[in-house]
Amino acid sequence: MEDHILEMHKITKDFPGVRALDNVNFTVDRGSIHAIVGENGAGKSTLMKILSGVYPYGTYDGNILVNGEEKTFDGIKDSEKAGIAIIYQELALVNELPISENIFLGNELADRGIINWNATFHKTEQALKEVGLSLNPSMKIMDLGVGQQQLVEIAKAIAKHTDILILDEPTSSLTQSEAQNLFKILRGLKKRGVTCIYISHKLYEVFEIADSITVLRDGKTVGTRKAKEVTEHDLITMMVGRELNQMFPRQPHKSGDIVLEVKNWTVYDPEVVKRKVVDNVSFKVRRGEILGISGLMGSGRTELAMSLIGAYGADISGQLILNGKNLTIKEPAAAIEHGISYLSEDRKESGIILMMNIRDNITLASLNKISKNGIINENEEIRAAEEFVGKLKIKCSSIEQKTENLSGGNQQKVSLGKWLMTKPEVMILDEPTRGIDVGAKVEIFNIMNELIDQGVCIVMISSELPEILGISDRIIVMHEGQIASEFHWREATQEKIMYCSTGRKFNERSR
């Protein structure tokens, strides 16, 4: 007899003008790692928000059973009492507080209103030990790396005696070694009987860590399969409802004249005196080509991009040359004016304004194109916003929908639409497909090819090696702020790039 720790039956959830979930059924075996995959807008996060009490009982139809007992959650506290914890892609930690206070925040070990600090420290050490961290509980979150913060979140869940742990895109900001460490922790939790629900767009991770996989599409359950009985190709077909014959639609690009040239570019850390985050970097980008920039986290890729558009507050030296003309760019507005756009890696922090609607976000960087004498032409604004919603296939009820109510991938498309509207000559894309499903990735790659055909040159920063290899014409590998190597796409391999990203030079004997 199968032992189900969780059953969700006929879950239906509506938002104004949109049915997010339509009679979804979801069952999880006790002590397993169960993955949920699907395109953006498929309903993954909505389903988990119902399970974790973010959307309380009464705002949806259907039933939830935990350990065979029906549950009705009126809030997050109720789901936590039932042994359910969720870790979101954006970590819910307070940077200024120490680890111990973060782990027991809202769940303080207190007697008659007085916190027992000895017990708090002792139990924090125990929870940290279970996730493989040997840290002082007094350390502040701001002093930890992203990978360590992720493990603190898991320790926080363990301290609440969690039976079901939900992880939403947990490796989106982790290095490969940090991700492998996370998987080791999750396998350890599984042996202890903790059940994990794992949401990810990275299918290779899903196959590495999951026992079972459930696919959602357009708010409906497509099916559940054992991981060992299904292929990546099968999953992609289930997710998008069609065959994706070419994940990376490479097209022959004919590169032209040099558009952007960077010479001896050096950027200093604004917080550490004399520390260089970008060290004497030089490269060229030609019209009609995609230059890929690879490297591990901390290699200086984002600092390079942000400094080029005047968004990195630090001492900078070197030359930025556009179409043969030296530029001095002190702020992003000047970069936009010169035809250089930058898609941020962090859409919620600096890519879009969540409380604004889709229309206002898309037109925000191009108000001069739709206004006269300081007055916005609303008809032009609506026309432009609807054009990019259609072109990028943004799933929404209308252009008046608030951006915060979109899925992560559709938020990314809104951010991309904003920069496409500026009609850039150079487009810098920093992790353009982070948190985006496989179908949407292909759509974005196709848009990039269209831009290349229009004469735009693209600089793409990505942590996904298949993406770098699949879409770039040339590839620069960065290590500790410097360019370690450069490859033409035909000679580049994942092995070569990984060797160079760690500061080593690749040769045939390195195999």
Question: Strands of 164-168's sheet, edge to edge?
Answer: 84-87, 164-168, 195-199, 33-37, 212-217, 220-226
Q: What's at 361, amino acid-wise?
A: N
Give the pLDDT confidence of 31-59 residue by residue, as tens digits: 999 999 987 678 898 999 999 999 999 99
Handedness of CA 195, 201, 202, 207 (dihedral sign): positive
Give the residue from 240, 272, 291 where a domain finishes: 240
In a domain, 248, yes or no: no
Stretch 107-116: mean pLDDT: 84
Tokens of 38: 């699907």
Return d(Cα 478, Cα 423) in angstroms, integer.
28
What percent of the chain has a predicted confidence (pLDDT) above 70?
Answer: 95
Domain limits for position 278: 258-510
Stretch 261-282: mean pLDDT: 89
Considering 179-183, 204-208, 498-502, the range whose residues carry the highest mean pLDDT is 204-208
Task: Clarify whether residues 427 and 495 are in a common domain.
Answer: yes
Angstrom CA distances, 460 to 121, 266, 346, stand at 44, 20, 15
Q: How many domains does the chain have?
A: 2
CB 173 within 8 A of CB 134: no
Task: Clarify whether residues 321 and 445 are in a common domain.
Answer: yes
In a domain, 308, yes or no: yes
Q: Rounded to the nearest 10 degrees, how much is the dihedral formed by the CA atoms of 496, 502, 507, 508?
A: -60
Q: Average model confidence (pLDDT) for the chain?
A: 87
Cα(first)–Cα(last) distance of the chain, in Å?
48
Stretch 380-397: mean pLDDT: 89
Query: According to the model, what pLDDT value does residue 504 have?
Result: 60
Give the residue from 240, 271, 305 where a domain finishes: 240
Task: Clarify whether residues 379 and 442 are in a common domain.
Answer: yes
Is 242's pLDDT higher than 90? Answer: no
With cut-offs at 50, 70 and 90, classify the pLDDT of residue 246: low
CATH, residue 344: 3.40.50.300
Task: Clarify whether residues 318 and 460 are in a common domain.
Answer: yes
In a domain, 251, yes or no: no
Cβ-based neighbour number of residue 371 at 10 Å: 14
Return d(Cα 329, Cα 368) in angstroms, integer.
19
Give the chain's length: 511
Task: Clarify whether residues 156 and 200 are in a common domain.
Answer: yes
In a domain, 322, yes or no: yes
CB 52 within 8 A of CB 75: no
Return d(Cα 309, Cα 300) in angstroms, integer.
15
Return d(Cα 410, Cα 404) in angstroms, integer.
10
Task: Clarify whether residues 317 and 401 are in a common domain.
Answer: yes
Helix (H, G, I), strand (E, B) or coil at 483: strand
Angle (deg, nearest 10), helices 408-420 and 378-391: 120
Query: According to the model, what pLDDT value does residue 275 have?
Result: 82
CB 74 within 8 A of CB 64: no
Return d(Cα 157, Cα 131) in angstroms, integer.
11
Return d(Cα 56, Cα 50) in angstroms, integer.
7
Return d(Cα 448, Cα 453) in angstroms, integer.
9
Cβ-based neighbour number of residue 387 at 10 Å: 14
Query: According to the model, what pLDDT value does residue 41 have?
Result: 72
Stretch 135-156: mean pLDDT: 85
With cut-offs at 50, 70 and 90, classify the pLDDT of residue 178: confident
Query: According to the model, what pLDDT value does residue 506 have?
Result: 54
Element (DSSP H or E) covering residue 498? helix 494-501
Give the residue from 240, 273, 295 where a domain finishes: 240
In a domain, 180, yes or no: yes
Tokens of 208: 């590495």
Task: Clarify whether residues 375 and 408 are in a common domain.
Answer: yes
With cut-offs at 50, 70 and 90, classify the pLDDT of residue 510: very low
Task: Clarify whether residues 201 and 289 are in a common domain.
Answer: no
Considering 38-42, 76-80, 342-346, the range whose residues carry the highest mean pLDDT is 76-80
Instruction: Out of 57-61, 105-109, 239-243, 298-302, pick the least confident.
Output: 239-243
In a domain, 245, yes or no: no
In a domain, 249, yes or no: no
Give the pLDDT confidence of 224-238 residue by residue, as tens digits: 999 999 988 888 788
Task: Clarify whether residues 221 and 314 are in a common domain.
Answer: no
Task: Clarify whether residues 217 and 272 are in a common domain.
Answer: no
Is 113's pLDDT higher than 90? Answer: no
Task: Clarify whether residues 287 and 234 are in a common domain.
Answer: no
With cut-offs at 50, 70 and 90, classify the pLDDT of residue 372: confident
Higher pLDDT, 495 or 76: 76
Task: Clarify whether residues 87 and 182 are in a common domain.
Answer: yes
Query: According to the model, what pLDDT value does residue 253 have?
Result: 76
With cut-offs at 50, 70 and 90, classify the pLDDT of residue 503: low
Tokens of 193: 């009987």
In a domain, 231, yes or no: yes
